[in-house]
Amino acid sequence: MITENLFASQRASLPAPPSLPPSNARVFTLSNGVTLIVDEDHNAPVASIQVFCATGSVDEGKWIGAGLSHILEHMLFKGTATRKVGDIARRVQELGGYINAYTSYDRTVYLIDVPSSGAYEAVSILSDAMMNSTLPVQEYDKEQEVIRREFAMGFDDPARKNWQLIARTVFSESPFRHPVIGYLDIYNQLKREDVWEYYKQRYVPNNLTFVVVGDVNASKVRAQLETFFKDYPRKPLQNIVLPSEPPQVGKRFMAEEFPTELSRVSFAWRTPGLTDADMPALDVLATVLGTGDSSILNRELRERSHIVHAISAQVIAFQNCGILGIMATCDADKRKQVQDSVLKLIAKIRSEGLTEQELHKAKMTFLSSELQNLIDTRGRASQLGSSWLATHNINFGRDYLNKVQRLTTADLQAAANKYLKEDTLNITELNPVGSPPSSVTPDSKAQSTQRVVKKFTLSNGLRLLVGEDHRLPLAVAVAAFRGGLLLESPQKNGISYLLASTLTKGTKTRSAEEIAEEVESLGGEIKTDSGNNSVVVTVEMMSPYLRQGLGILADVIENANFPEREVELEKSSQIAAIKSEKDQITAIARNLLRKQLFGSHPYGMRALGTEENVKNLNVGDLNKFKEEILTARNGVLAVFGDVKAE
446 pLDDT exceeds 50? no
Domain shared by 576 and 537, yes or no: yes
Question: Model's pTM, two decimal places?
Answer: 0.87
- Give pLDDT, residue 449: 42
- Give pLDDT, residue 461: 86
- Give pLDDT, residue 12: 46
* 131 alpha-carbon distance from chain centroid: 31
Residue 473 lies in a domain: yes
> Which pLDDT band, with edges at 50, 70 and 90, does 15 fall under?
confident
Domain shared by 422 and 460, yes or no: no
Domain shared by 209 and 257, yes or no: no
Q: Tell which of 401, 432, 463 closes a domain.
A: 432
Over residues 372-386, the mean pLDDT reads 94
Residue 166 lies in a domain: no
Residue 7 lies in a domain: no
Q: CATH number of the domain at 148, please.
A: 3.30.830.10
Residue 15 lies in a domain: no
Q: In what order do the strands lie in the sheet with 474-482?
A: 453-457, 463-468, 635-641, 474-482, 534-542, 525-530
Instruction: Find the range with the poorest average confidence among 7-21, 142-156, 206-220, 421-435.
Output: 7-21
Over residues 343-355, the mean pLDDT reads 97
- Give pLDDT, residue 2: 43
- Give pLDDT, residue 249: 85
Q: Measured between alpha carbons, how far is 512 from 505 in angstroms, rounded to an integer?
A: 4
211 pLDDT exceeds 50? yes
631 pLDDT exceeds 80? yes
**Residue 271 contacts residue 317 (beta carbons within 8 Å):** yes
Eight-state DSSP code of residue 234: -
Domain shared by 480 and 416, yes or no: no
51 pLDDT exceeds 60? yes
Convert the pLDDT of each residue in 87-123 to its tens digit.
999 999 999 999 999 999 999 999 999 999 999 999 9
Question: Chain-wide mean pLDDT for the chain?
Answer: 93
From residue 211, give the alpha-carbon distance in Å to each of 311, 396, 493, 547: 36, 15, 48, 37
Domain shared by 495 and 398, yes or no: no
- Give pLDDT, residue 11: 38
Residue range(s) defining the domain that contains residue 410: 252-432
Beta strand ranges found along 489-555 (DSSP E): 525-530, 534-542
Domain shared by 136 and 272, yes or no: no
Question: Greatest CA span in the chain, whole angstroms?
Answer: 74
Domain count across the chain: 3
Q: Tell which of 383, 403, 432 closes a domain.
A: 432
Over residues 535-553, the mean pLDDT reads 95
SS3 per residue for 9-55: CCCCCCCCCCCCCCCCCEEEECCCCCEEEEEECCCCCEEEEEEEECC
Q: Measured between alpha carbons, how far is 88 from 86 in angstroms, rounded to an integer?
A: 6
Please, which residues have CB within 8 angstroms of residue 102's CB and are 6 or more apart in sequence? 73, 108, 109
> Which pLDDT band, with edges at 50, 70 and 90, does 451 fall under?
low
Domain shared by 297 and 347, yes or no: yes
Domain shared by 101 and 139, yes or no: yes
> Which pLDDT band, with edges at 50, 70 and 90, does 3 fall under?
very low
Domain shared by 622 and 487, yes or no: yes
- Give pLDDT, residue 439: 60
Over residues 264-292, the mean pLDDT reads 97
Residue 246 lies in a domain: no
Convert the pLDDT of each residue in 492-518 to its tens digit.
999 999 999 999 999 999 999 999 999
Residue 624 lies in a domain: yes
**Residue 322 contacts residue 275 (beta carbons within 8 Å):** no
28 pLDDT exceeds 90? yes
477 pLDDT exceeds 90? yes
- Give pLDDT, residue 130: 98
Tell me if residue 271 falls in helix, strand or coil.
strand
The residue ranking higher by pLDDT, 195 or 241, is 195
Domain shared by 582 and 625, yes or no: yes
